[in-house]
Amino acid sequence: MGRQFFGTDGIRGRVGTHPMTAEFALRLASAAARVLAPQGGRVVIGKDTRVSGYMFEAALEAGFVAAGMDVLLLGPLPTPGIAFLTQALDADLGVVISASHNPYFDNGIKFFDRAGSKLPDAVEERIEAFLAEPAITRESAELGRAKRIDDAREQYQQFALSTVPPGTRLDRLKIVLDCSHGAGYKVAPTVLTELGAEIVPIGCSPNGRNINDGCGSTNPDLLMLTVQGVRADVGIALDGDGDRVLMVDHEGRLVDGDQLIYLLARAARDEGRLQGPVVGTQMTNLGLERALAELGIEFRRAQVGDRYVLEMLRETGGILGGETSGHLLCLDKTTTGDGLISALQVLSVMANSGRSLAELVRPVQRLPQTLVNLRLPRRIAVADSPPIQAAIHEAEQRIAERGRVLVRASGTEPVLRVMVEGEDDGEVRAVAESLAASIERLTA
């Protein structure tokens, strides 16, 4: 049947433009209730700091209450915190109002099941099938109720602290913390301060419109400069909803998700707790795969998207994986990607080993990689286009054994992502630009 609205990470778009309207959110809540809690039940709703979150929170609340579900409102909280509280509060589902790393004028809605995991594609398809139906309004005696959970943030903070190895202290670390003016702006500074770290906060003053604006994991330049300027030991960059993390070493150099995965995998192996293969994606840099091979650690690639990394980890019994962008999965600690908890694991390795972040990730020699985002007039199914497949094959022949080519469609917009990776930066850039130009001509 396929999905019309759900992408790789929920439903997302510009506020005020279908489907990101209050009316659609109400119908979506009703459809989700039909599929996930047809007999009624409990749902938690959290959000990031976008001004439109108030509107969507109210619309979703109305839809769920009308469908006979009790609603627990968590307020601004990182996406992984909402996943945790879905389980901790024994809810039937969790809802996140966020467009992650997008600008404030976008927003999105995504769901967790009662185990705090993202929904499978098939369940999202079932929800979409009910969107054409009128929203349910039950009789007064069957309506749900709504209330705010005042200690939601404190519950999540205690959970995050519980994932740190016993006895770990961060007293000797000076940390620049960039929360992207997003959902982690209170949680992350509180947790790190409680562990004894000296915090220099940036991106921690949300006003509803500055989320991800020149800060956070997608805009780390300010963090890199600040780490050098204040002579910090490390920098941490979350994204707007707190499920991604990138870091900066003491010299101001960016450390991406691939390098952090290596650090965590090596630490887990050395401690005898690594299970199954480490899982990355088709976009993961070949340098990580080679570095893990040197340690004798198996590595596998899933489709792009942390939900697909999670599926492969579950299939293979693995506990560690993620994406270059900083979506990291530490399944021995939590059920979903969590920027703060992932950062805590890295900081614990630094504190307990006495080694710098730069030293710990040095074995990963990243290969040059060029990514071209090609905006098209409409969505294109790459696999179903023989001319595009021919262009890709020609590019693969040009780079031969020296690298690899990947072309994939965005899950949320009419964009093709053209990635070429190889040993020579000039060749990689030339092949990527040539392939992108060819595809642009073919789709004009």
Which are the catalytic amino acids? 100
Closest to 182 (Cα-Cα) out of 206, 200, 154, 218: 206
Closest to 321 (Cα-Cα) out of 306, 333, 335: 306
Length of the chain: 444
In degrees, rounded to 5, the angle at the alpha carbon of residue 124 between the alpha carbons of residues 120 and 130 is 155
Asked whether 237 and 254 are in contact (CB, 8 A), the reply is no
Q: Which two tokens stand for residue 226?
A: 């600040």
Q: What is the Cα–Cα distance from 330 to 186, expressed in whole angstroms?
A: 22
Q: What is the Cα–Cα distance from 56 to 190, expressed in whole angstroms?
A: 27
Q: What is the Cα–Cα distance from 342 to 328, expressed in whole angstroms?
A: 7
Closest to 172 (Cα-Cα) out of 443, 400, 355, 374: 355
Alpha helices by DSSP H, 195-256: 221-229
Closest to 164 (Cα-Cα) out of 398, 34, 338: 338
In degrees, rounded to 5, the angle at the alpha carbon of residue 106 between the alpha carbons of residues 105 and 109 is 140
Strand blocks (E) in 228-281: 234-238, 245-248, 254-255, 278-281
Asked whether 361 and 263 are in contact (CB, 8 A), the reply is yes
Q: What is the Cα–Cα distance from 370 to 436, expressed in whole angstroms?
A: 11
DSSP 360: H
Beta bridge partners, 330, equal 320
Is the dihedral angle over the CA atoms 390, 395, 398, 402 positive or is it negative?
negative
Q: Which two tokens stand for residue 5?
A: 């609205």
Return the number of other C-beta atoms located less than 10 Å from residue 43's C-beta. Answer: 30
Edge-to-edge strand list for the sheet holding 403-409: 369-375, 415-422, 403-409
